Chain A
Amino acid sequence: MKEWIFTTDHKRVGISYLVGSMAAFAVAGTMALLIRMEQFNPGPGITDNPHTYNTWLYFHGAAMILAFLIPGLTGFAANYFLPLMIGAPDVAFPRVNSFSVMLFWLAIVLALLNFVIPDPADIMWTGYPPYSVMTEGNTAWYVFVVHMMGFSSILGAINFLTTVIYMRAPGMGWNQLNVFVWGTVTAFVMQLIFIPALAAAVTLLLFDKYLGTHFFDPAAGGDVLLYQNIFWFYSHPAVYVILLPALGILFEIVATMSKNPVFNYKACIYGGFWGTTLLAGEVWIHHLYVSGMPDWLRIGMMVSTILISIPVGLMTISLWGTLYRGAITFNTGMMYASGALFFLLLGGLTGIPNAMTVVDLHIGETSFVHSHFHYVMAMLATFALIGGVYYWFPKMTGKYANEGIGKLGFWLNFIGVNVTMFPLMLIGPLGMPRRYYDYPMVPELAPMHHLATYGSLIVLLGMAITLINWITSAIAGEKAPLNPWGSKSLEWTHTDSPPGPGNFKGGTPVITEDWTPYNYGK
């Protein structure tokens, strides 16, 4: 038991991340259901206290991003599979890795305690001043959650970057890395540079609220928009911290299931993944279109934001190109990947009007944006993560996940999220604001809210089925061979299922020059 709780092994640390992030997902998902129920009709619904509603919004956003998506992708998936893919016995600093996951658990405990403490935090996940400085709520609590998650991620970045640079299998060159490894590396490069900005922003919030400084107080020479600038300097790249590892998982599933090498590998890695990383830090001011900025800056930010379409386009082309003329196996993992590809298309295309300053000024604070980022970030990454769990399920457990139940769960989830989010996209331009507790000015939109709420209940059913499927299959699933999908990647070809301590029983694999993880003889 102590070997599970206090483990420093990357695979067990990975499982710990998976359990923690799914727990966070369950609670944050419950908040989403409460939000949907409250929005069912205009006027007070299940609560007549807007502050309670605010704490739901706060928890849903903060936990989904900081406690579910980022730890699920860069904690669970990177921990379990990156060392296997590069042929390493563990990460560079196993004890630091254990420290990271423990900090993550601490952050989750802190976040959950928010429901118990007096005056809980109620400041959204963005924590904008002046509200966050003036509120009775415990803003410090949120700041410490961010500190713990942030420190955990920075330690993860140090660990994984060192691992990839120094612990690749003998002979493994940069162009022989799995796309998922690149997705993780670029995500961690961004975490390393941008998280400190977030940490600085919320720390200054702490100083302003509790030590009496005036960073964000215009009455005493401070600047309220300063916070928004520092905050979004991190939080726009945070979208790519989620997107890039998620796309990495999609590449692994798509290449294996269609038995094709990754199309345009170099353009995808150097143009797509690194291009996104390079542009990530130059677009944050588009979050201040509505808050205000000089006109000349609006144009510049519009251009840099639209430029992001180029690297994202390169990655999308590679994904579809990998599918082209493939012998595609549509198992549950691949179905989730396909669903994610659909979200990438819809979410990506709805991003373009948001980038246009003139359009965004009108739709930026409506549920159109709410729906857009759920498609492109929340739903895409969640489907990639669930698809990844199905894809690697035989590796982690030695057993197959049940396909029939898996597919049933997929269809419920896919239909459910679309029924929830598509109506919200439609009513945004009709005047439905984001974040509001009530919508007395547009009562005629209630039928669309009904639809969205029913959709969220379908997702509840789909997710329950999915989780039950994982647990029952892990205990009593059909035994799977070592490489059931016929992949060429090291985690499938060279390790046990699940791999034991040290991963590679026969010693580290040695890589020859013509080897690639996508070597399907084409």
Chain B
Amino acid sequence: MATHSESHAEHPHFHAPSHWEWSTAPTLIVLGIFFSIPLAFAGHFVYHNSLMTSVFAGLGVPVLLWGISQWVSEGINSPESHHHGLSKVGLPIFIVSEVWIFIGLFSAYWALRLMAAQWPPDGTPHIGTNLPIIMTILLVSSSATIHVAEEKLEEGDVGGMKTWLILTLLLGTVFLGCTLTEYSKLIGEGFVPSTNAYSTAFFSITGFHASHVLVGLVTFLCVLIPALSGKTNKTFLACASVYWHFVDIVWFFVVSQIYFW
């Protein structure tokens, strides 16, 4: 039979709160999403109304950032709670689902490519492979620098952690810069998403990966900004780092399938 007991040696001790806990951060983020994604998108793409778009985006983005900063500060200021460290389990579970999104996108690409009469289809300009090689080097080195940042924090060297984190942020930003350069060159040559089946897959997959790079950079900022005032959280940095390695690994598939195949 089950019995009551205050604590148990083999299991972590969970502190039951004696009051109802609450937080406004999730609601703020959701409100921010509401204005800056569905409403702003519909304003631009569906109803072609630029005033509507800018009003919604102007409302949504600040609220979204406010919500994120509130979430981060609540997380970083809260005492080590009963679920401390479980994020290191939760994040890989999230990555499983991310993997399936990419499997979906790549399957779509493979289906189009393998059923095509000729590849690349008409209208595809020469897509250089030098830039993707440079981008690969950037991303791989950023995976290394974030790992060093993690080790510095482990040693208690917050200053070193900040240095290596900033370096990682720079590498990631340059990576996104390369993407933009490449896009503008290709679009200049008339290769746009609607050109053919290859452009369809090219812009969708590289764009979707780039959006993940952006999310990774935002999580680094969420670690860096509190660190400037001396607040750090090892679990948080570890999660941001694991996510970044995942983004790095996906890039290998993007490079091999989109550029070199």
Give the contacting residue for B3; candidates A195, A223, A509; CB below 8 A: A509
Any chain B CB within 8 A of the CB of A317?
no
B5 and chain A: residue at smallest CB distance: A510
* Contact between chains at B192 and A222 (CB < 8 Å): no
Q: Per-residue 0/1 for A167-208: is the Cβ within 8 Å of any B Cβ (1 yes, 0 no)?
A: 101110000000000000000000011111101110010010
Identify which of B41-49, B140-148, B250-258 touches chain A.
Answer: B41-49
- Give the interface centre of A88, A106, A505 by most chain B CB atoms within 10 Å: A106
Instruction: Tell me, yes or no, whether B4 is within 8 Å of chain A by CB.
Output: yes
* A12 and B4 within 8 A (CB): no
Cα distance, A87 to B203, chains bound together (Å) = 48
Find chain B residues with CB under 8 A from A102 CB.
26-27, 29-30
B108–A230 touching, CB < 8 Å: yes
Chain A interface residue count, Cβ-Cβ cutoff 8 angstroms: 87
Of the candidates B21, B94, B103, the one whose C-beta lies within 8 Å of that of A501 is B21
Give the contacting residue for B112; candidates A96, A157, A210, A215; CB below 8 A. A215
Is there an interface contact between B101 and A9, defined as CB atoms closer than 8 Å?
A: no
Does B176 count as interface, using CB distance less than 8 angstroms?
Answer: no
A98 touches B26 (CB 8 A): yes
Q: Would you call A165 and B89 a contact (CB within 8 A)?
A: yes
Q: Taking the complex as formed, is B104 at the interface, i.e. its CB lies under 8 A from any CB of chain A? A: yes
B23 engages A6 (CB within 8 Å)? yes
**Interface mask (A495-512 → B, CB under 8 Å = 1, otherwise 0):** 000000111111111111
**CA of A158 to CA of B98, assembled, Å:** 12
Q: Would you list which residues of chain B between 114 and 140 have a CB under 8 Å from chain A?
A: 115-116, 121
Partner of B8, one of A138, A170, A193: A170
Cβ of A103 under 8 Å from chain B: yes
Residues of B within 8 A of A226 (CB): 108, 111-112
For the complex, give the distance between the alpha carbons of A58 and B93 in Å.
32
Chain B residues with CB under 8 Å of A200's CB are: 101, 104-105, 108
Q: Nearest Cβ in chain A — how far from B112, in angstroms?
A: 6
Min Cβ gap A127→B in Å is: 15
Q: Which of A78-131 contact B (CB under 8 A)?
A: 87-90, 92-96, 98-99, 102-103, 105-106, 109-110, 117-119
Q: Are A213 and B46 in contact (CB under 8 A)?
A: no
Tell me the minimal C-beta distance from A9 to chain B in angstroms. 6
Interchain CA distance A227-B98 in the complex, whole Å = 19
Among A6, A117, A158, A212, which residue has its beta carbon within 8 angstroms of that of B22?
A: A6
Seed contacts A117-B42, A223-B112, A515-B1; 13 additional CB < 8 Å A-B pairs: A6-B24, A12-B20, A95-B75, A96-B26, A158-B97, A204-B105, A213-B199, A214-B196, A214-B200, A221-B116, A222-B197, A223-B111, A493-B2
Binding site for A on B (CB under 8 A): 1-8, 10-11, 14-27, 29-30, 33-34, 37-38, 41-42, 45-47, 71, 74-75, 82-83, 86-87, 89-90, 93-94, 96-101, 103-105, 107-108, 111-112, 115-116, 121, 192-194, 196-197, 199-200, 203-204
23 contacts between A and B (CB under 8 A): A2-B22, A2-B24, A7-B20, A98-B23, A98-B26, A102-B29, A110-B34, A141-B46, A159-B90, A170-B5, A195-B97, A199-B101, A210-B45, A211-B193, A211-B203, A212-B192, A212-B193, A214-B200, A220-B197, A502-B17, A504-B4, A507-B7, A512-B3
A interface residues (Cβ-Cβ under 8 A, vs B): 2-3, 5-9, 12, 87-90, 92-96, 98-99, 102-103, 105-106, 109-110, 117-119, 138, 140-141, 144, 148, 154, 157-159, 161-162, 165-167, 169-171, 192-197, 199-201, 204, 207, 210-215, 220-223, 226, 230, 233, 490, 493-494, 501-512, 514-515, 519
